[in-house]
Structure 1
C-alpha cells in the first residue's frame, strides 16, 4: 500500500518552448511555490547578474540561455514534483529529446504576443509521437498579445490538437486585469503596483459580482462575456481522457515574469495530469506498482560540480522501490551493480537520497560503465528501449592544436561522446585521424569546445565540414558493395560509433540523386534500432 500512495503523489514533467517564450522564468516561479528557492532569478532583467537557478553551466550564465537539461525536485500541496528543465536555445541537442522520454507530461509555454514558433512545433511533434499529455501556458499576457481566440485557433490548426481554455484572459497588455476560471466560474483580478508588478489577487468572485463589475470597464466586460459565450457554444469540451491521451491540451493564460496565473496553472496541472504510467517492454507491461525495481538512464553529465569533477547518470525510476545500497543488474553488461552513491538533484546541488519511487529522477555517481538508454533492474527480463536516436544536421572537424595536451583532449572528447552531447563519425579510407563531430544543432560544438577547455584544460579548433545531410545505409552491406556505390560530387562514406555505414551529403538534392542511382542501397534517416525521428 505504501508504494501505491507514493506513486499517486508523483508528477514528472518537462517544460518546452521556443527561445524567449519565458520557460526558465516559469520554472523559477514554480519553484517558489514549492519553497525550493527563496529568490527567483530574473532572466529578462539581469541587471544584478543573478544566474537562473536551473542554469548551472558557466557558459549558460554568460549567454543567458539554457543549453543543458537539469532536474529539479520539490514538494507542493502534497505532491512530489520532478521538474525537468529542458534547453530552450534554437540549437538544442539530442539531450532535449531524450528528456522527453523520462516525463509523464509536458507544459508548453507560448508567447501570447507571437503565437506558435518553430521550436515549439518541433518539440510538440516529438511529444505527440510519444503520446505525452500536453498542458499549455499562454505567457506574457501583461504585454500586447494576439487575440486569445486566434491563439486557440492556431493551436488547433497548426499543431492539430484540441484546445480547451481552463481560464480566459480579461483585457490585454496594459489593460490586462486577470482571468476567468471556466471550471469554478470565478474571476481572479490582479492589479499592478507602482513598480509595474502584479500583486496578489485583489478580488475573486463571479462576473456578475458588483465588486468585480466595478473594476472592469464596460467594453472589457462585454468583450469577455461575448468570448465566453462563444467558447461555451462552439469551443472544445473538456475531456480528461482526451487530455491524458495527448489529444486535447488544457490552456492557461498568465504572466510568468509577474507571477500571475502560475499558481492557477500549477494547480490545474496537478489536478488533471496523471501519476506515473506503465511502460511497455519486450516481456510485456511493467507497472509502477510491481515489486521488481527497474529504471532507465536518459542522461549522463560530467563535471556538474567543479569541486568533485565526477560523472552523474540520471535514472528515471519506472517500477518498484529504489533503496540506497541496493544491488541491481546492469542489463547491457549483465553485471551486478551496487547503487551506493545516489542523489536527489536540484540543478547542480545534491542531497543523498535513501529511497525513491516510480516517477522520481535520481542521480547515480561513480559508474563509468553506465550509458544512455541502459536499464537497471532487479528483474533481468525487464529491458527498456525508451531512448531514440536522431539524425545530425551539423558537422565539424575538431582539431587538437596542442599535441602536448593530447591525453586531456582525448579524455574530454570521450566523456562528451559518452554523454551523447555529440556524435563522432569515421570517414572511410581517411588517413587523417581528426575527429569528425556530428550534432543536432551547431551550438553543441561550442559547448564541446568550452567544456574541453574549462573542464579538461584542452584547447581545440573547429573546422566546419561541407555536409548538411546524413543518411544511414543498410548495415549488412559488404565492403565491396560499399566501394561500388556511385556517390554524388562532394559526398563521402563514413561509419558511426556503432560502425554502421552512413553517407554524408552536401544537400538534400544529392541524397535524392544517390537514391536514384543506387537502387540496391536504400537510405534511412534513422540508424538501426531507432525509435523515432526528430520532427
Structure 2
C-alpha cells in the first residue's frame, strides 16, 4: 500500500473538528503602523516567545522573529511575508505577517488568498493611510472579514470617535468597538469592555519586553483611580450605545462591519483582548471554492494552495520552500500528492511548520494550517496540490508592474549563478521576469510594482546567489496585455515595446506613459492593449 493510500484510511482526528480549532489570519497596515511589533506582541501573549522586541531594539530587546531577512533588520521594514504558528488556549493560530510598504503589496495580496480573516492595524495619530485603504479594498474583493486594531494609543493621537467616523466615511465599514480606551491618546490608562463594562487597568513593563500587567477594577474603584478620564469614557460609551454601534457577527462575516479594539502593541497594552477576539469571533476555515466556483468541503481529501515561495531562509541549507495553505482534509508527512498543474506526483517527505525563520518537522496538518514543503522546485505561486479526485483552485494573478529595468551580471563568468538567481526570484514572485528575443537571455527585463523590489533583487543576487547585477532602468510605466496578432504592430510603434511571455504566459506590451497609451489606442483601435487585472481589481489605469 502506498503512503497516500495509507493516509487515506488512517483514523486520525476529524478534519472538521480540527478546522474549528484553527484561526488563519493576516496582519495588514500602512508602513510604520506597528505591524511587526503587534505580531511579536501576539506571540508573546500566547507564550510562543519569552520576550518581544522591536525591529530596532535597544538593550536586551530582540529583533522581531517575523522580520528574518538581513535587509528587513537593516531597514526596519517588512520586505517579505512571514508565517508564524502559535498554539493558544486550545486553538491553533496561523498568523501571516505581511509587508506594509506599497512596493511589496503583491506579496500581501498573495497572503490574503490564504487567510480567513485580517487584522487591519491603524496608527492612532494617522488613521486610514493610503496603503491601508488599498489593502482593505483587496480584503473587500476577496471577502475577507476585517478586525480593526487602533494601535499606539500610548502616544499622542486623534479622538477615538473621530477615528471611527473616518472608518465609516472613507471605506463604508461600520465600526463596532468591542472595548474603549480610558484616557486620551498619549495618556492610556486602561480599557473598558463592551458590553459588560469590565475595566482593565494597564501597567507598563520595563521596555515592553514582557506581558503588560493588568488589574481588574470595578466601576467605583475605576472612578476613584481615573477621575475625569473615566467620566469622559463613560460619556463616549453612552454615545456609542445611542447610535447602535454594537457588534453583529453576521454583519462582520459579510464584510459590512468591523469589530474595533484599542491598544498599544509596543508596551503590550490591549493585545490579550485582541487574542481573545480572534478566538471568539474570527471565522474558522470553511469550504473553499475551486477554480470552477464549487466549494471544497474541509472534510474532503487533502488539498492545498501554494501562496508563497521562498529560497535561502536558512543559509546552511540553501533550499527552496513552498508555503501551502491546507484547504481540506488531513495532511500527513510522506503522503504523495498530485501537482494539479502538471498531473505529476509530488512527494512530501520534507514538510515543516515555520515560526518566522525557525522551522521544525511537522507530521500532520489540517484545514487552515500553513505547511512548508522543502525542495519544491516544481511548484509555483498559485499551484494546487491534492489527494484523491482532482481539484484545482483559482490561480493567484500577478499585479500590473509599473517599473522596469534590464538586469545584467557584472561578472560574465558567473552567468549560471545569474540565471539561477533570476529564475529563483521569479519563481518566488519577488520580481516579474520578462524575456525578450531582442534583448537576449543575458539581459532579462525585471518588472516591479514598486522600485524597492529592485533593491531587494540586487541585494539577494549579490549576497545569496553570489552574482552581483547592474540595473538599467527603462522609461516605461504602463504594462498591457496583448496577443500574438497585435504584437508586431505594437512593437513597431514609438514609445512601446512587446516582450515575450512572463511566467504566467502573459504577453505584455510596455508603454511609456498613460498619455502615449491613449494615443496608441486612439490611432490603433484594432490592436489588443487590455488592462492587467488582479483578483477583480484593476491595478493600473
TM-score category by the smaller chain?
over 0.9
Q: SS of 2:251's equivalent? A: helix
Label 1:199 to 1:530 Cα distance change in 2 as closer, same or farther (>3 A): closer
Label 1:79 to 1:287 Cα distance change in 2 as closer, same or farther (>3 A): same
1-side partners of 2:467 and 2:148: how far apart?
43
Structure 1 stretch 116-125 or stretch 515-524: which is displaced more? 515-524
**Structure 1 residue 375: Cα displacement:** 0.8
Instruction: Specify which of 507, 519, 530 is matched with residue 524 of structure 1.
Output: 530
Instruction: Specify which of 478, 481, 505 is matched with residue 472 of structure 1.
Output: 481
User: 1:286 maps to what in 2?
Assistant: 296
Q: SS of 1:201's equivalent? A: strand
User: 1:152 maps to what in 2?
Assistant: 164
**Cα deviation code 1:435-491 (max 9, x no counterpart):** 110011111111111111111111111121111111112x3x42xx43334976422
- The yes-or-no answer on 1:190 pairing with 2:202 is yes
- The yes-or-no answer on 1:443 pairing with 2:452 is yes
- The yes-or-no answer on 1:374 pairing with 2:380 is no
Instruction: Specify which of 381, 387, 408 is matched with residue 417 of structure 2.
Output: 408
Q: SS of 1:202's equivalent? A: strand
Instruction: Specify which of 221, 225, 230 is matched with residue 215 of structure 1.
Output: 225
Instruction: Specify which of 365, 371, 384 is matched with residue 374 of structure 2.
Output: 365
2-side partners of 1:341 and 1:443: how far apart?
33
Structure 1 stretch 442-451 or stretch 84-93: which is displaced more? 84-93
Matches within 5 A, 1:41-190: 41-43=53-55, 45-46=57-58, 50-190=62-202
Contact 1:427 1:492 in 2 (8 A): no
Contact 1:283 1:382 in 2 (8 A): no
**Structure 1 residue 413: Cα displacement:** 0.8
2-side partners of 1:46 and 1:86: how far apart?
24
**Structure 1 residue 91: Cα displacement:** 1.9
Contact 1:486 1:517 in 2 (8 A): no
2-side partners of 1:47 and 1:494: how far apart?
51
Label 1:450 to 1:486 Cα distance change in 2 as closer, same or farther (>3 A): closer
User: 2:15 maps to what in 1?
Assistant: 3
User: 1:353 maps to what in 2?
Assistant: 362
Label 1:269 to 1:233 Cα distance change in 2 as closer, same or farther (>3 A): same
**Structure 1 residue 89: Cα displacement:** 2.6
1-side partners of 2:423 and 2:511: how far apart?
26
- The yes-or-no answer on 1:395 pairing with 2:404 is yes
Structure 1 stretch 294-303 or stretch 363-372: which is displaced more? 363-372
Q: SS of 1:364's equivalent? A: strand
User: 2:498 maps to what in 1?
Assistant: 493
1-side partners of 2:61 and 2:476: how far apart?
39
Label 1:432 to 1:296 Cα distance change in 2 as closer, same or farther (>3 A): closer
Contact 1:322 1:356 in 2 (8 A): yes
2-side partners of 1:194 and 1:57: how far apart?
27
Contact 2:25 2:94 in 1 (8 A): yes
**Cα deviation code 1:325-360 (max 9, x no counterpart):** 111111111112221110011111111111000000
User: 1:502 maps to what in 2?
Assistant: 508
Structure 1 stretch 377-386 or stretch 262-271: which is displaced more? 377-386
1-side partners of 2:361 and 2:343: how far apart?
26
**Structure 1 residue 190: Cα displacement:** 2.0
Structure 1 stretch 246-255 or stretch 510-519: which is displaced more? 510-519
1-side partners of 2:469 and 2:78: how far apart?
23
Contact 2:329 2:366 in 1 (8 A): yes
**Structure 1 residue 96: Cα displacement:** 1.5
Matches within 5 A, 1:327-346: 327-346=336-355
2-side partners of 1:314 and 1:196: how far apart?
32
Matches within 5 A, 1:30-49: 30-43=42-55, 45-46=57-58
Structure 1 stretch 511-520 or stretch 460-469: which is displaced more? 511-520
Aligned length: 525
User: 1:323 maps to what in 2?
Assistant: 332
TM-score (structure 1 length as normaliser) = 0.93
Contact 1:122 1:534 in 2 (8 A): no
User: 1:299 maps to what in 2?
Assistant: 308
1-side partners of 2:381 and 2:205: how far apart?
49
Structure 1 stretch 428-437 or stretch 102-111: which is displaced more? 428-437
User: 2:259 maps to what in 1?
Assistant: 250
**Cα deviation code 1:7-43 (max 9, x no counterpart):** 1101000100111101011100110122211111223
**Cα deviation code 1:411-440 (max 9, x no counterpart):** 111111111111112346446841110011
**Structure 1 residue 252: Cα displacement:** 0.2
* Structure 2: stretches of 5+ with no match in the other structure: 1-12
Label 1:317 to 1:531 Cα distance change in 2 as closer, same or farther (>3 A): farther
Structure 1 stretch 508-517 or stretch 257-266: which is displaced more? 508-517
What is the aligned-residue RMSD (CA, Å)? 2.2
